Amino acid sequence: MADDTLYVDLMSHEQAFADVGIRSVTRVGDCRAPGTIAAAVYSGHRRAREMGAAADEEVPLLREGGFAR
C-alpha cells in the first residue's frame, strides 16, 4: 500500500504554497506505489529531470556514459 501521508499533510497547506514560491507538489516513489529502492530512486530522478519541461515534452533517460535510450 502506498504511503502518501506526507503528501496529504502538505496538500492540507496548499493555500500557502504560492506565498513561498511553491508551484506544485508531486508524488513519486513509494508515495505512489510501493516498490524497490531502485524504483523509488528512478522515480525521484525522473521527476527531477522533468522539472521545468513542458507536459508533452519527452525527457530522455540518461544512463552511465551519457547515452540516451
Please tell me the pTM assigned to this model.
Answer: 0.56
What the block records as the C-alpha cell of 18 is 504560492
**CA-based nearest residue to 26, from 1, 42, 6:** 6
Residue 66 pLDDT: 52
Residue 54 pLDDT: 66
Residue 12 pLDDT: 92
Q: What is the largest CA-CA distance in the chain?
A: 43
Can you tell me the distance from the alpha carbon of 43 to that of 39, in angstroms, rounded to the nearest whole number? Answer: 6
Can you tell me the distance from the alpha carbon of 35 to that of 14, in angstroms, rounded to the nearest whole number? Answer: 27
Residue 60 pLDDT: 62
- Full pLDDT tens readout for the chain, 69 residues: 778 888 899 899 988 998 899 888 888 888 888 889 888 888 888 888 888 766 566 666 655 555 454
- Tell me which amino acid residue 12 is: S
